[in-house]
Amino acid sequence: MRLDAFEVFFADFAPRLRQEVYGHLAPDAHPLALAVMREAVEAAPAGSASITCRIALTWSMANRVEGAKRHSLDEMALDIGQRIPSLAAGLAATGAGPARVMTVAEVAAALRVAYDPSVAKLIEDVGAQAAGIEWEDAGPAGAEEAWDHYRHDGATSVSWVMTEAPRGQVFSNVLANLLAPHPDIARKRVALLYRPYDTAAAVRVVESDRP
């Protein structure tokens, strides 16, 4: 399972805030309440840090029964469709908030923004569905790979990979600085990879990690 990712970026929230608030104003509300809501929208900071979280689950079409044929695409679609609701409910129960499945348009838009951050405001204003980004447009129009960076569509990506977990005790705030916004980095993506273990294997892993 891949938790990809805590994406931290600085964005202009004014259009989204106006759309959200004005779209829910009741026309028959008290004039004072309407005035307070409009004033709150106009007084809100134009830009601030935003954090989004996306989770990617990967399934294998291989059959666990030795010698059996691989699962078909239809079988996998049915199995995944039955599992997603309980997985989403489990995430909500952890305190992560409501979880939902992304649409094809939202996935394509997220990829497009990752390669070309300049289109983020357009997608934010009109929405992923209305932006009409197809899979053919999701990738970079041009890219150049180097040993220490990756240039794509007017932006540059640099990756750092942790190869060894911290030694000693690990506290709940160990990732706080990594996930926090940074004024010198316009957009930051943190990907965490998880490998599920069964109960017996998990016990062995935990015991082997004890000092």
Residue-wise pLDDT tens digits, 46-91: 555 677 788 888 888 887 777 778 888 898 889 888 888 888 888 7
**Model pLDDT, residue 1:** 43
- pLDDT surpassing 50 at residue 124: yes
Question: With pLDDT > 90 as the criterion, what percentage of the chain qualifies?
Answer: 4
Q: Average the pLDDT over 196-204 and give the result.
A: 81
Between these two residues, 115 and 166, which has the higher pLDDT value? Answer: 115
Question: Residue 46: what pLDDT?
Answer: 57
Asked if pLDDT for residue 3 goes beyond 50, the answer is no
Residue 185 domain-assigned (yes or no): yes
Q: What angle do CA 162, 166, 170 make, to 5 degrees?
A: 125
Query: Has residue 139 been placed in a domain?
Result: no
Q: Please tell me the predicted confidence (pLDDT) of residue 151.
A: 92
Residue 5, sorted as left (phi over 0), alpha (psi -120 to 50) or beta, turns out to be: beta
Quote the CA–CA distance of 150 and 157 in Å, as a whole number.
5
Could you tell me which residues are beta bridge partners of residue 187? Answer: 9
User: Is there a domain that residue 191 lies in?
Assistant: yes
- The total domain count for the chain is 1
Residue 17: inside a domain: yes
pLDDT at 54: 84
pLDDT tops 50 at residue 104: yes
Asked whether residue 5 carries a pLDDT value surpassing 80, the answer given is no
Determine the pLDDT at residue 200.
Answer: 84
Tokens of 138: 């999701």
User: What's the domain range around 27?
Assistant: 1-55+178-211
Q: Is the residue at 119 inside a domain? A: no
Residue 37 within a domain: yes
More confidently predicted of 45 and 139: 139
Q: How far is CA 2 from CA 32, 73, 94, 128, in A?
A: 48, 21, 17, 23
The answer to whether position 16 is within a domain reads yes
Stated length of the chain: 211
- Residue 7 phi/psi, 5-degree rounding, is -100, 120
Does the structure show a pLDDT above 80 at 11? Answer: no
Please give the structure tokens belonging to residue 99: 């979880």
60 falls within a domain: no
Rounded distance between C-alpha atoms, residue 210 and residue 208, angstroms: 6
